[in-house]
């Protein structure tokens, strides 16, 4: 199991000329992504994505994110004990 956070609206902290960028507020919007497989890679569990919105507006009303990944939501987009156990028992 490997879990990582994806800060999808984070601004770069340097420009192309290697100068630091000042005056921007750091965005904390994130997704937590988890991947899991056995050592040989034969048994792979569907990836998990955790966001802070239960039904993101960008996907529209007919899109089902659980078709591609197991999608969960909580206030801080963190992996919690209840989400982890539900994901493992589901797979």
pLDDT digits (tens, 9 = 90+) for 31-89: 899 988 888 888 888 899 999 888 877 777 777 777 888 999 999 888 999 999 998 88
Distance CA(78)–CA(30), nearest Å, equals 9
Distance CA(27)–CA(61), nearest Å, equals 26
Task: Give domain status of residue 83, yes or no.
Answer: yes
Calculate the dihedral angle through the C-alpha atoms of 90, 79, 8, 39, rounding to the nearest 10 degrees.
-60
Task: Give domain status of residue 73, yes or no.
Answer: yes
Q: Which residues pair with 20 in a beta bridge?
A: 14
**What pLDDT is stored for residue 90 in this prediction?**
85
Task: Give domain status of residue 48, yes or no.
Answer: yes
Task: Give domain status of residue 13, yes or no.
Answer: no
The first and second tokens of residue 85, run together, are: 């156990």
CA dist 56 to 52, 59, 60, 81, Å?
9, 6, 8, 23
Task: Give domain status of residue 78, yes or no.
Answer: yes
pTM of the predicted model, to two decimals?
A: 0.76
**What pLDDT is stored for residue 53 in this prediction?**
85
**What pLDDT is stored for residue 81 in this prediction?**
93
For the chain, how many structural domains are there in total? 1
Element (H, E) at 87: helix 81-90
Task: Give domain status of residue 34, yes or no.
Answer: yes
Task: Give domain status of residue 75, yes or no.
Answer: yes
Cβ-based neighbour number of residue 52 at 10 Å: 16
**What pLDDT is stored for residue 12 in this prediction?**
74
The residue range of the domain holding 68 is: 2-8+28-90
**What pLDDT is stored for residue 21 in this prediction?**
67
């Amino acid at each position: 199991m490997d879990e990582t956070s994806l800060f999808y609206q984070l601004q770069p902290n340097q420009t192309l000329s290697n100068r630091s960028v000042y005056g921007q507020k750091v965005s904390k919007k994130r997704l937590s992504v988890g991947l899991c497989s056995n050592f040989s890679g034969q048994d792979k569990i569907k990836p998990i994505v955790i966001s802070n919105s239960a039904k993101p507006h960008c996907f529209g009303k007919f899109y089902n994110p659980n078709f591609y990944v197991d999608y969960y939501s909580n206030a801080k987009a963190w992996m919690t004990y209840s989400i982890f156990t539900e994901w493992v028992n589901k797979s």
